Structure 1
Amino acid sequence: MRATLFLLSLTLATPALLGTAAAQSQASAQALFDQGKWQEAATAAAALNTSAGYALAAESVTAGASLSPDNQKKALFQRAQAYAKQAIAADKNNADAYFELARAEGRLAQYVGVFQSLPLAKDMKVNLDKAIAVNPKLAGAYVALGLWNVNLDSGGLKGAIAASQTGAKKANAVPNFEKAISLEPGVAVHRIEYANALLMLGNKAGAAEQLRKAVTLPAETFWEKRDMEGAKAKLATLQ
């Protein structure tokens, strides 16, 4: 009888214990990513076989591609794309999964031919819209939309073709960045990306203003510190 009760207590405790273990594992993978150990983070996160884990794996690989040689970037973005699709398959209500898929697609579009890049750009917009539909407060998605609009409607014949086929409009860039900053005013990368967009729009003064605000904000992770170094260097050229 006592043995039966003992086994029953273990059975009842298992879901809670598994949930705690999964949360700890996700946190451990996140810690690796925050330290800049993106390969280890991606492996640990994907091994969780959860939507959140696959989304973090996608984020890790996309970020890691920025540190990798150019001849490796395309394959890494494709890997991130695959992880994000696994995240969506595991949970269709995971806004981060749609965002990571969009981000991987946006990066991948820079390393494929024009006939592949436009479909990727269109799909990126679809996934950003899905991310926002699931979580209207996902600030990063608005940043990505701002960049999407300004990059595709970039002027010249190529920009005109891209804008006509995707619906991108430079005029939509600033409102998206302002929305992101209103949601997360203390996140430096939003202002850094805003500055990059403003430079593309020819607004040097506005870009410098955003960078001056960005460099006053905290930078704790490897990636935040790296972004901050870049922001300070760019600001110095605009002074």
Structure 2
Amino acid sequence: MAQWTSFPHPGEYAFDAASTAKNWARLHRGDSEPLPTDPALLEAWALFHSGEFQKANDAGLHIGPAGLTVANKAASIYATYLEPHEKARLDLFLEVATRAHAQAQDDPHNANAWYWHAYALGRYSQAISVAKALAQGLGGKVKDSLEKTIRLQPHHAGAHIALGAFHAEVIDKVGPLIGSMTYGVRKDVGLKLLQDALHLNPDSAIAMIEYANALLMLDGQQRIAEATGLYEQAAAAEPADATERLDADMARAELLN
């Protein structure tokens, strides 16, 4: 495996197993992942929260089935924010989607197996263009996996964010009528999902960012002040770990554009 690009703020989020366990509720407010009892798995999560994404991925895969969620999350976050090469990004998303789908088949009550399947496939879809992904039938798979995630874990903020963004992006690409009739998406449902995500995880920079994006896609310039305010809140958010720092960095970069 090629060397992954390093987290750009090394040492700022130095977690070990003990601090990861102590802060677990805050760190996993977005994905409702249960606290592991396996010390090796807890160490893998500590690597993830510290921004050691490649090491977390490798450690999770080495553990086996119980480590798949941390591996999938590490690879997905890395591909989303840090992988500079498009082909490598797409390959990682497809690898995670394939791995998570198999995990979900083996363990259908595992909410995060369905979630990381949807997340990776959704990011892949964005990269190749939402229109092309819809034509390939990927949209239905993303929506189905996210809805399964929420049925299994109603407090999964990440799934609410992703599903809300899905509704907004499909409407943005094909319009509300075709979106509703063909893909089952609606503006009010999408915005409600994103509002619920912020209720579930009020400190989430990524929830603020995706809500802002949805407002602009669905309502355009009339919501630009509200969207800008959400970006400013996201940029000012206090990150709890490396991933949240990447979210806040993204918001700051967007405000400069």
User: How far is 1:215 from its partner?
Assistant: 3.3
Partner of 1:8 in structure 2?
A: none
User: Normalising by the residue count of structure 1, what TM-score does the alignment of the two structures yield?
Assistant: 0.80
Q: Aligned letter for 1:147?
A: A
- TM-fit CA distance, 1:229: 1.8
Structure 2 counterpart of 1:4: none
Residues 21 and 235 (structure 1), Cα distance of their counterparts in 2 relative to 1, 3 Å cut:
closer
**Which stretch shifts more, 184-193 or 138-147?**
184-193
1:120 pairs with one of 135, 138, 145: 138
2:86 — aligned with what? 70
Q: CA 1:105/1:163 → structure 2, altered by over 3 Å: closer, same or farther?
A: farther
Which of 184, 191, 215 aligns to 2:208? It is 191
Give 2:116's aligned residue: 100
Partner of 2:249: 229
Give the letter for the 1:54 counterpart: L
Distance 1:84 1:186, change over 3 A: same
The two structures have a TM-score, normalised by structure 2, of 0.75
8 Å CA contact 1:163, 1:169 repeated in 2: yes
The letter of the residue matching 1:139 is A
Structure 2, unpaired ranges of 5+ = 1-34
| Structure 1 residue 46 corresponds to structure 2 residue 46 | no
Q: Which of 38, 59, 62 is matched with 2:73 structurally?
A: 59
CA contact (8 A) 1:154 1:170 kept: no
Distance 2:187 2:55 in 1: 38
Cα separation, 2, equivalents of 1:224 and 1:22: 24
Question: Who is 2:161 aligned against?
Answer: 143
2:240 counterpart (203, 220, 227): 220
* Corresponding pairs, count: 216
Whether the 8 Å contact between 2:36 and 2:42 is mirrored in structure 1 is no
Amino acid in structure 1 at the alignment position of 2:198: I
Which residue identity lines up with residue 192 of structure 1 in the other structure? I
Q: Is the Cα contact below 8 Å between 1:118 and 1:166 reproduced in 2?
A: no
Structure 1 or 2: more helix by fraction: 1
Deviations 1:136-164 (A, max 9, x none): 1111111011100011111567x865654
Cα contact 1:154–1:160 (8 A) shared by 2: no
Q: What per-residue deviation string (whole Å, max 9, x for no partner) do you get for residues 22-74 of structure 1?
A: 622122111222222222211111222224x2122111111121322112122
Structure 1 counterpart of 2:107, which letter? D
Write out aligned runs for 1:142-221 (5 A).
Answer: 142-155=160-173, 164-201=181-218, 202=220, 203-221=223-241
2:51 equivalent among 36, 40, 49:
36
Q: What is the DSSP-based 3-state SS (H/G/I as helix, E as strand, rest coil) of the residue aligned with 2:247?
A: helix
Task: Say if 1:164 and 1:73 are closer, same or farther in 2 by CA, change over 3 A.
Answer: farther
For structure 1, list consecutive stretches of 5 or more residues without a partner in the other structure.
1-19
* SS of match in other structure, 1:154: helix
Deviation by residue 1:160-201 (Cα, 9 ceiling, x = unmatched)? 656542122233221011111111112222112211222223
Name the CA distance, whole Å, in 1 between partners of 2:93 and 2:64: 20
Q: 2: CA distance between counterparts of 1:138 and 1:56?
A: 16
